[in-house]
Amino acid sequence: MTLSVPYRASADGGVARNEAQKFLAQAFVSFTEAAGSLEKSYGQLQAEVTRLRAELERANSELTASLAENARVRRFLARVLEGLPCGVLALAEGELRLANPEAERLLGIGSEWKWGEGALPEPIARLLHSETRGPDGSRWEYVMGEGAAPRTLAVTASGVAEVDGKAGGQIVILRDVTEEKRLAAEREAARRVQALGEISTLLAHEIRNPLGSLELFAGLIADSTAEMPEVRKWVDHLQAGLRGLSATANNVLQFHSEPSPQLVPTLLDRLLRETVEFLRPLARQRCLQASVINRVGTVEIVADPHRLRQAFFNLSLNAFRAMSAGGTVYVRLDWAPGAEGRRVQVEVEDNGCGISAEHVERIFEPGYTTHAGSPGLGLAVVKTVAEQHGATLAVRSTPGRGTTFTLTFPVRGEAG
């Protein structure tokens, strides 16, 4: 700094010097103050720089943490998307932008399709232009595949709002509902079967009530016409019809509504004789014979006589239907092989048309029958009765030669 000091060629030189010194002193004070102000400003500037640097470092740290968190969230969302049990498609501007693994599996998108090629894969194009798509286009069902095992997909589509002036896209959710539809169909079928069973049970009760009286009157007529062969023939037809109707009503009741069996000690040989005698009118009506062969004698089992009689009746009636006039049904009572005294078996054998192999596997299914007009419950009831009595049920058949059904029971005291 340059200071100009006025000079006077005056005699009073001392005064001038004093003024000059005062001026210099003031200038020095001003300089000192300016230097202090600069130093203070510099200190403040350094503090501000330090603060800004700290803030920048904190901002950088937060940004780094935010980027790491975003990356973690993206990885997590990607895993969630991959693990979803439903298919997810994301489309924008007519192009597929995202498809999770489940969507690829459901639609059969193979590795031959390359991302970024623009055109939609054919399975997705068919899905989006499905004829089953409803008026609003947001929910519909799409059937994939042909033949015996098609798959049904439930499709839900929703739009994506416009972002930054660009047109929005579309999110499509896919669920395989094939099993749900199958179960729903089974529940509906079961509901119908239950309703049919309830109606059938009601009708069977209404029919069985008067059948007892009709059977009684038919028996009285049979006794009073025993010496009248011409009339007895018609009585046989009457009794056969009533007993066939009674068998059908009992089958319906046992299959749909009967309570648990009432097991009591039962003479099996006597039960078989009574069953065959009950069948005589049916046999005579069809010009058939029924014969009981007892190789055991008197044997007692634990059984529900009413249900067991119905099972033997069903097996015999099944045999009658398989034979032509002149045939014989043999009902054999014998010890089970290798179990004499412990298990006893009943065989119902006919020499009729036999059962083909493809039918043998299904004959015990409720409703399955090869005879027109039959409800298909007879053998199903036989199977149920066998299970209720701890018995085994077997069948062997040769087409054109006949069929044999075998029921094996534990004798009383040997059960379990």
Residue 389 lies in a domain: yes
Distance between CA atoms of residues 178 and 233, nearest Å: 59
Is residue 49 predicted with pLDDT exceeding 50? yes
Residue 121 lies in a domain: yes
Q: Which of 46, 75, 104 is the last residue of a domain?
A: 75
* Range with lowest mean pLDDT among 56-60, 64-68, 112-116, 213-217: 112-116
Residue 217 lies in a domain: yes
Distance between CA atoms of residues 300 and 266, nearest Å: 5
Q: Which range among 186-200, 221-235, 344-358 has the greatest average pLDDT?
A: 344-358
Question: CATH number, domain at 114?
Answer: 3.30.450.20
Task: Show Cβ contacts of residue 106 under 8 Å, excluding neighbours closer than 6 positions.
Answer: 87, 144, 151, 153, 174, 176
Query: What's the pLDDT at 307?
Result: 86
**Looking up tokens 């009794």, which residue turns up?**
239
Nearest partner of 243 among 215, 221, 270, 217, judged by Cα: 215
303: three-class secondary structure by DSSP: strand
Q: Which of 176, 200, 233 is the last residue of a domain?
A: 176
Give yes or no for a contact between 320 and 313, defined as CB atoms under 8 angstroms apart. no
* Range with lowest mean pLDDT among 81-85, 95-99, 253-257, 309-313: 253-257
283 and 348, same domain (yes or no): yes
Written as six digits, the tokens of 17 are 């010097």
Written as six digits, the tokens of 39 are 């130093």
Residue 380 lies in a domain: yes
165 and 288, same domain (yes or no): no
Q: What is the mean pLDDT of the chain?
A: 81
pLDDT digits (tens, 9 = 90+) for 209-229: 676 666 676 777 777 777 777
Give yes or no for a contact between 402 and 350, defined as CB atoms under 8 angstroms apart. yes
Query: What's the pLDDT at 162?
Result: 66
- Amino acid at site 320: F
291 and 327, same domain (yes or no): yes
52 and 160, same domain (yes or no): no
Distance between CA atoms of residues 29 and 216, nearest Å: 146
Task: Show Cβ contacts of residue 131 under 8 Å, excluding neighbours closer than 6 positions.
Answer: none
Give yes or no for a contact between 345 and 376, defined as CB atoms under 8 angstroms apart. no
Q: How many CB atoms lie within 10 A of CB 342?
A: 13
364 and 294, same domain (yes or no): yes
- Amino acid at site 100: N
* Range with lowest mean pLDDT among 64-68, 85-89, 249-253, 318-322: 249-253
204 and 341, same domain (yes or no): no
215 and 337, same domain (yes or no): no
Distances (CA, A) of 52 to 58, 66, 67, 208, 383: 10, 20, 22, 102, 91
Q: Which domain holds residue 105?
A: 87-176
Residue 280 lies in a domain: yes
Is residue 405 predicted with pLDDT exceeding 70? yes
326 and 365, same domain (yes or no): yes
148 and 264, same domain (yes or no): no
172 and 212, same domain (yes or no): no
Residue 71 lies in a domain: yes
Question: CATH number, domain at 416?
Answer: 3.30.565.10
Task: Show Cβ contacts of residue 235 under 8 Å, excluding neighbours closer than 6 positions.
Answer: 218, 221, 222, 225, 281
Query: What's the pLDDT at 368?
Result: 74
The pLDDT of 373-384, averaged and rounded, is 79
Query: What's the pLDDT at 253?
Result: 64
Task: Show Cβ contacts of residue 374 under 8 Å, excluding neighbours closer than 6 positions.
Answer: 321
Distances (CA, A) of 150 to 117, 139, 144, 153, 179: 29, 19, 6, 10, 11
327 and 372, same domain (yes or no): yes
Residue 10 lies in a domain: no
**Would you place residue 123 in the very low, low, confident or very high pLDDT band (cuts 50, 70, 90)?**
confident
Query: What's the pLDDT at 416?
Result: 43
Q: Which one has a higher pLDDT value, 393 or 166?
A: 393
Query: What's the pLDDT at 175?
Result: 92
Distance between CA atoms of residues 151 and 141, nearest Å: 10
The pLDDT of 193-218, averaged and rounded, is 65
Entry pTM: 0.51
**Looking up tokens 């009709």, which residue turns up?**
214
Residue 9 lies in a domain: no
Q: Which of 250, 271, 297 is the last residue of a domain?
A: 250
**Total count of domains within the chain:** 4
Query: What's the pLDDT at 200?
Result: 63
167 and 185, same domain (yes or no): no
Task: Show Cβ contacts of residue 206 under 8 Å, excluding neighbours closer than 6 positions.
Answer: none
